[in-house]
Structure 1
Amino acid sequence: MRVLSIGILALLVVPASFAQDTKTEATLSGSALIDYWIKTKWTDAQLKPAPKTNDAEFMRRAYLDIVGQIPSLEEAEKFLADKSANKREKLVEALVKDERYAEHWADIWSGVIVGFDKEQRAQGMRNEGAHDFRELLEKNVPYDEFARKVITAEGWVPEGYKPMMMKDDKKAEDDKKPVGLASYMVRQFREAGKDFPKAVAGKLTRAFMGVQIQCAQCHDHPFDRWTQEEFYGMASFFTEVRVKRDPKDAEMRGYHVEDAMRGPVGKKLAGAGGPDLSIPDSKTGPIKPSFIDTKQGAESGVSRRATFAKYVTSPENLQFAKMCVNRYWAHFFGTGIVNPVDDFNGKNKPTHPELLAALAKDFIDHKYDLHWLIKAIAGSEAYSLTSRSAAKERDLQAEKLYALGRVRALMPEQIMRSVIEAANLDDSPMMGLGRRDLKGGGKGMKGMKGEGAQMMLMRLTSQFRNTFDDDEGSESVDFAGTIPSALMMMNSQVIAGGTTARPLNGFGEMLAKHPSPDAKVRAIFLSCVSRLPSASEASRWMAHVTKSAGTSGYEDLMWTLLNTSEFLFNH
């Protein structure tokens, strides 16, 4: 009978010093700036912060947040053995340069821009988008440039996910290579039809500015200052965009996304798009493009989309930087300074307004460098605090003010990649794929380049996402545990295959490399929950494995750990 869970040891709360930085707030930057404003709130609320994470806690948290999976056994052993004082800083620096970083954040950004959906075609479009997001993230393209590329994306988008048409496929014609960044345009077109300009304006304003202006589509915003006319002014920036099929190419099924008209030599004719939008049953007449707040309109010589992108990403538009900072903050802390992250409005006040404004300005000063932003957040004292508490009930005030770490459910993609990493999965449950396809020569999911591997991950992730029940295609990437998801983990073919030791599979090889029962138990703990067992856990499991036949005791341990809340949550 397999045990279903293992308790997480409580960590005693000890006094911790949080003296303020002696520098003035105006001279602070990055992690020091964050610490200044966070500690100011602690002092005002007379809060004592939780103890700092131990090295194993911090390592697992950083891997999950930055590269989207737990560390490998070898990576965990290497970090825990490092005795240098700046090992955490070095780890974060290494992780933002790891190929898995781009994979993970491409998952996140494709979800935000394209959306999460159970429908197969939308899943395919999201995967096409993830490929292009990954390229931008690998290059650490500045965030303002990143946003402009998304807003102005054009080209051919296949109807379904076509890994054989990756951009390195030399056989494909240049104009037939997929442009995944434009896939969100296709989805909005398919779902909104003639209201496409309104849908895109709402999507992009929400994603890049955190403003729910779409609520003013039918009437003035019910509890914010946006008017219906302002919404139509924003939507008019997208009346030039055309999404259409190519009737001459039945084989390459998909859509072309482009601005409305081109001249005889292929140049865009700016301003030659569709008519300006009009509010139904209104006497205002056609409404010209007009950017909220600044009232700037279309510019001559460039497309309306390009003008919109210019206004959104302007350094003078602090809201653009605030939204990015808030989104990344929410990813690392489980809640935004403004929460929900994409709903800035007069009634949804930030918990730390000074911090949000100062960090947004600091982000702009650092040229919208996403690596810098991640290192600033992950290097802060608040990020280093444990989520463990000796109290019987969670201290919600401490969590709200970031004096206590927050326990967060993993994204389905994080679970999938972590299961594959922990169990070192071989080909038995993986649709005929060998470990080299999955593991990239032992480098984890970052080596996963082949067409078959991409399709496998797409199918398995879709299965996990559907089971973890993200309905309505929301942008949220926060998933809570449910009975169906727990049953899936317990009965999944992937889990069953990964927790069965055979001579030539990954789990079997791991056991063979560690000859003693004690070493095997320690290796399994490090592989699954990125820490060594406590004395009581080691004693209990040593007793179990020594009395079990063959490798069944070790299989029980692996299966049990993969089904604990400790594995399924970031803490």
Structure 2
Amino acid sequence: MKPSSHNWKIACIPFCVVGLVVSLVAWASSSPVAISPKAPALTVDNSMTSTVEQVDQFFEKQWAKQQTTPADISDDYLLLRRLSLALHGTIPSLEELREFEAMQGADRIQRWTQKLLEDRRFADYFSERFTRAYVGVEQGQFIIFRRDRFKAWLSEQIQANTPYDELVRTLISAEGLWTGDPETNFITSASADGNLDRNKLTGSTVRAFLGQRIDCAQCHDHPFDHWKQSDFEGLTAFYGQVEIQVLGVRQNEELKYEVEDRETLKKRTVSPQVPFLNECLPEEGTLREKLATWVTHPQNRRFERAAANRFWGLVFGVPYFDPVDDLPAPTDLSESDPDVLDILGQDFRENGYDIKRMIQTIVASKPFRLSSTSQTDDNEQIERATDAWALFPLVRLRPEQIIGSMLQASSLKTIDQNSNLFMRGRRFFSELDFVREYGDLGSDELNDFPGTIPQALLRMNGEFARDNGSASMLNSVGRVSQLDISDKKRVETCFLVCLTRLPTNLERDHFLKQYQSATNPKQREKITEDLFWALYNSPEFSWNH
């Protein structure tokens, strides 16, 4: 049952700043509206086109070999929603849909992708996704760890399109104070109660940047993989000289890395060593600089494959190899038959580890453009097609994507860095509150997670849903209710705002009957409220298709 409406409240904003926010809103409303940048002209790159063709050919061979028929290509509206959710963490606004509709040319999806990547929202959203992979979700000890500063620094690096290998080398080898040199928070995130957990740093480094799980080797040889306990200890020794001082993260060359023998309980010194590609370890530099160079070395296939798998997962919602941090070692793969991670990884390496180029390549590939709708009802065939990437994977939206989509659906205008302070503050505090109540996915974010009844009830009856389901001059429900358009157009607008698609004939006819039964404007407004509430709470709203 739809909850009763009530006036919109600024309950999520601290009382001490409400007056300031209201004043700024009044100022912003009288200021010219900032126009979002137009989609740039697409830069033609023959090498990228060649890589996309290689990716497509790889999958087409797989589909032919497995006798799997790929799904149809998705329509542009669905691709826009898919892109916006993946790159900005929200659905596109009606304003953006109209801008896209005005674009001409067969390459407008590629041009729109480039526009989304240049938008500041991409850097801000991906910085949060990277932060989770690199330092987790815990705030840690404030005295030596600033997660927010780390995330802001990452956002600047992504916006500037800093090469990925350079970014990773900086994280591993950085020195300085965690406030003035935010990249050092990768190191200080492993500190607790005054002690630096070097084992945690090693595990995080190998998981995040090489896509391998080595953690259990800190106690014994890995039972199923190539990793030995001596490998873990040798890698950890590269962090043996790092220490956290009053003036920040520093390298102390007098320190020796020691471990306690579990049988004799005696301590022994461990020398830094790498488990493979010893020839890629430089002779010059600090221990962490040497480790950083080895991790990102062009001959280290694990690095580029791990990056490709993580970016694939961020774009699709599911990594190519799952879990994202447990990739098969390159030694287990056929050298003569490279997989899609090798194709993407080679392009990544040969083009300066360009993050945005990697994403553009994945988005331009055929698997990304496929529909999630199967041409058969046979569960076994559907599962086989899904495993072969012949269907776009159905993935439940992340908590911040749900609240981001609800917020955007409440406004016909784009909510971005050009929005007024009131709208941006509302989004910030609403997202914090919603994610806290809905439940966070933690750092293990690319694994599948089930929905719960409390989560569904929060979307249906939470304070935000109640507020935005009630028509007002400030939200899309009220504005759509007052638009001087036909009822058919009104229904279509509601579907575009909430689901980024037009209604089916059956859906359109159902809601048109509701409007035709209305005898006064108040009833029509109530029908629009009910329509928005139904779309907010449809299963389709909380999934990527």
Indicate conservation of the 8 Å contact 1:322/1:356, yes or no: yes
Q: Which residue of 2 aligns with 1:214?
A: 215
Q: Which residue of 2 aligns with 1:227?
A: 228
- Cα distance between partner residues in 1 of 2:540 and 2:100: 20
- Distance apart, 1:243 and its partner CA: 2.9
Q: Which residue of 2 aligns with 1:501?
A: 471
The answer on 1:364 being equivalent to 2:352 is: no
Q: TM-score, normalization: structure 1?
A: 0.78
Q: Which residue of 2 aligns with 1:294?
A: 277
Indicate conservation of the 8 Å contact 1:321/1:360, yes or no: yes
- Distance apart, 1:241 and its partner CA: 2.3
Q: Which residue of 2 aligns with 1:445?
A: 416
- Cα distance between partner residues in 1 of 2:241 and 2:228: 23
Q: Secondary structure at the match of 2:244?
A: strand
Change (3 A) 1:492 1:153: farther
1:81-480 residue pairs with structure 2 within 5 A? 81-117=102-138, 125-157=146-178, 177=180, 179-190=181-192, 194=195, 196-244=197-245, 246=246, 257-261=248-252, 271-272=253-254, 274-281=255-262, 285-295=268-278, 302-345=285-328, 353-394=338-379, 395-424=382-411, 442-447=413-418, 459-470=429-440, 474-476=444-446, 478-480=448-450
Indicate conservation of the 8 Å contact 1:66/1:95, yes or no: yes
- Cα distance between partner residues in 1 of 2:491 and 2:139: 39
- Cα distance between partner residues in 2 of 1:152 and 1:458: 32
Q: TM-score, normalization: structure 2?
A: 0.82
Indicate conservation of the 8 Å contact 2:367/2:390, yes or no: yes
- Cα distance between partner residues in 2 of 1:477 and 1:378: 21
- Cα distance between partner residues in 1 of 2:272 and 2:424: 41
- Distance apart, 1:284 and its partner CA: 8.9
Q: What amino acid sits opposite 1:324 in the alignment?
A: A
The answer on 1:530 being equivalent to 2:500 is: yes
- Distance apart, 1:504 and its partner CA: 4.1
- Cα distance between partner residues in 2 of 1:457 and 1:154: 34
Change (3 A) 1:456 1:328: same
- Distance apart, 1:182 and its partner CA: 3.0
Change (3 A) 1:454 1:202: farther
- Distance apart, 1:341 and its partner CA: 1.1
Q: What amino acid sits opposite 1:420 in the alignment?
A: L
Change (3 A) 1:279 1:32: farther
Q: Deviations over 1:241-269 (max 9, x none)?
A: 2235x5xxxxxxxxx641234xxxxxxxx
- Cα distance between partner residues in 2 of 1:350 and 1:480: 32
Change (3 A) 1:185 1:239: same
Change (3 A) 1:52 1:207: same
- Distance apart, 1:87 and its partner CA: 1.7
Question: 1:79 pairs with 100, 107, 126, which one?
Answer: 100
Indicate conservation of the 8 Å contact 1:63/1:70, yes or no: yes
Indicate conservation of the 8 Å contact 1:411/1:478, yes or no: no
Gaps of 5+ in 1: 4-25, 158-175, 247-255, 262-270, 426-441
Q: Secondary structure at the match of 1:444?
A: coil
Change (3 A) 1:467 1:505: closer
Q: Deviations over 1:317-357 (max 9, x none)?
A: 11100000011112233432321111024699789953222
Q: Deviations over 1:104-156 (max 9, x none)?
A: 2112101111213498969x944332211110110111111121122234444
Q: Which residue of 2 aligns with 1:554?
A: 528
- Distance apart, 1:467 and its partner CA: 4.0
- Distance apart, 1:462 and its partner CA: 4.0
- Distance apart, 1:189 and its partner CA: 0.7
- Cα distance between partner residues in 2 of 1:297 and 1:534: 58
- Cα distance between partner residues in 2 of 1:196 and 1:422: 44
Indicate conservation of the 8 Å contact 1:529/1:567, yes or no: yes
- Cα distance between partner residues in 1 of 2:156 and 2:369: 30
Indicate conservation of the 8 Å contact 2:281/2:293, yes or no: no
- Distance apart, 1:301 and its partner CA: 5.9
Q: Which residue of 2 aligns with 1:41?
A: 62
The RMSD of aligned alpha carbons is 3.2
Q: Deviations over 1:506-538 (max 9, x none)?
A: 542344345433332222111110111122111
Q: Which residue of 2 aligns with 1:23?
A: none
Indicate conservation of the 8 Å contact 1:111/1:126, yes or no: no
- Distance apart, 1:299 and its partner CA: 6.2
Change (3 A) 1:510 1:138: farther
Indicate conservation of the 8 Å contact 2:318/2:446, yes or no: no
Change (3 A) 1:486 1:257: farther
What's the % identity of the aligned pairs? 29
Q: What amino acid sits opposite 1:88 in the alignment?
A: I
- Cα distance between partner residues in 2 of 1:339 and 1:101: 24
Change (3 A) 1:356 1:114: same
- Cα distance between partner residues in 2 of 1:190 and 1:474: 21
Indicate conservation of the 8 Å contact 1:311/1:317, yes or no: yes
Q: Which residue of 1 aligns with 2:36?
A: none
- Distance apart, 1:455 and its partner CA: 7.2
Q: Secondary structure at the match of 2:339?
A: helix
Q: What amino acid sits opposite 1:407 in the alignment?
A: L
- Cα distance between partner residues in 2 of 1:140 and 1:243: 30
- Cα distance between partner residues in 2 of 1:356 and 1:133: 24
Aligned length: 491
- Cα distance between partner residues in 2 of 1:243 and 1:455: 35
Higher mean C-alpha displacement, 73-82 vs 534-543: 73-82
- Distance apart, 1:74 and its partner CA: 1.5
Change (3 A) 1:457 1:349: farther
Q: Secondary structure at the match of 1:29?
A: helix
Q: Secondary structure at the match of 1:78?
A: helix
Q: What amino acid sits opposite 1:493 in the alignment?
A: E
- Cα distance between partner residues in 1 of 2:405 and 2:483: 21
Indicate conservation of the 8 Å contact 1:289/1:298, yes or no: no
- Cα distance between partner residues in 1 of 2:389 and 2:516: 44
Indicate conservation of the 8 Å contact 2:477/2:528, yes or no: no
- Cα distance between partner residues in 2 of 1:83 and 1:28: 20
